[in-house]
Amino acid sequence: MGKCRLCKKESILISQRLGFCVDCIRERFEEARDGLLALHSRLRERDGLPPRVPSAEGGKRCRICSNRCSIPEGGRGFCGVHENKGHRIRPVTGSPKKAYVQWYYDPLPTNCCASWVCPGGSDKGYPCFSYSKGPEYGYYNLAVFYCACNFDCLFCQNWSYRRCQKPPYVHETEELFEAALSPRVSCVCFFGGDPTPQVVHALICARKMVRDSGKKILRICWETNGAVSKPFLLKMAELSLKTGGCIKVDLKCFSEELSYALCGVSNTEVKENFKFLSEYSKKRPDPPLLVASTLLVPGYVDEKEIERLSQFISSIDPEIPWVLLAFHPDFHLLDLPPTPKDYALRCLKVAKSFGLKEVRLGNVHLLC
């Protein structure tokens, strides 16, 4: 049971850790702002990460993502993996060909949020981009987990990346490239954390994988918060378009105020990038290039947020696949309940009421 510091409302759908209800975050954000940013700063410092997006006067501007960090000499960007050294922005690993990254082979079909519209888990894209008209049993996804993120989601389900920005997790592009050489690997998914902070490393790997794959099917996919700079996003989209892969954009919420509260940063550019990708995806309708996902965080990503997201997506293209994911308590939002089944079904109904044709629930085993 949490209590909002502003309106004093009490509810199991208010996180005591967060300290504010969703209505006050949206409607009284200026009053809540300092408390919310202080929370993010405090929790990030525990993990040795920069407390907030740096905006140093006279600092060097990083242009990898939408945060546009202005990093002071000797300082690091919000993601923790880029630094200003000698008045130049450079990876803390010393080279863009080195990144904090891990990988593993995941049998297809995977539990990927896009598997229901992906050539690896459905009949989409066959025969050009899939070995079988249906799930690719017997093949593997090379799951590439980048240990950094340019968001700071309090509900992160993969928060372990924050503990992996250490020398043992530094790997060169050549090591990762070799992992994709297996004839049974038919797709590669860059995720994390998020691939954005180390996207140069990912692009180097992906290009070489595609170039050297010959006639082998090798889809390039991305699972991201969508807050990458447009030039890099275009390169990501080109690789996925060519190979039958997709870009899975996690739309955390619609409200910018709620994005600051839950994720520590703005989501304005995410929405702009989503629109850009929707136009680009028209070049290849099957299999879909763009897939959206949203985690149904009880009490915060509420029906109002789903309604606004539904309106946003439907105004762009009602055919865009969208999966609403069940939440389980994790990271810093352990005091919230799992997503209630009745709430998830209401959200699904809201989405369909806006004419969205490819929307479904995911992680249904977590619904309570």
Going along the chain from its start, the domains and CATH numbers come out as 1-46 (no CATH), 52-91 (no CATH), 98-366 (3.20.20.70)
Tens of pLDDT, residue by residue over 262-294, are 999 999 999 999 999 999 999 999 999 999 999
Tens of pLDDT, residue by residue over 204-245, are 999 999 999 888 999 999 999 999 999 999 999 999 999 999
CA distance 359 to 368: 20
CA distance 146 to 148: 6
Cα 229 off chain centre by: 14
What integer pLDDT is reported at residue 111 of this predicted model? Answer: 87
Is the pLDDT at 317 greater than 90, yes or no?
yes
Tens of pLDDT, residue by residue over 144-191, are 999 999 999 999 999 999 999 999 999 999 999 999 989 999 999 999
CA distance 50 to 79: 8
The per-residue pLDDT of the chain, averaged, comes to: 96
Cβ atoms of 192 and 227 closer than 8 Å: no
What integer pLDDT is reported at residue 203 of this predicted model? Answer: 98
What integer pLDDT is reported at residue 280 of this predicted model? Answer: 92
What integer pLDDT is reported at residue 215 of this predicted model? Answer: 87
Exposed/middle/buried for residue 241 (C-beta within 10 Å: 0-12, 13-18, 19+): middle
Tens of pLDDT, residue by residue over 253-266, are 999 999 999 999 99
What integer pLDDT is reported at residue 9 of this predicted model? Answer: 97
Cβ atoms of 201 and 194 closer than 8 Å: no
Is the pLDDT at 95 greater than 90, yes or no?
yes
Pairing of strands 170-172, 70-71: unpaired
CA distance 30 to 18: 15
**Nearest CA-CA partner of 252 in 354, 325, 361, 161:** 325
CA distance 229 to 53: 16
* Structure tokens that stand for 175 in this block: 């090591």
Tens of pLDDT, residue by residue over 349-359, are 999 999 999 99
pTM: 0.96
Q: How large is the angle between the packed helices 230-243 and 268-280, nearest 10 degrees?
A: 30
Locus of tokens 């008209």: 133
* Structure tokens that stand for 212 in this block: 């050297």
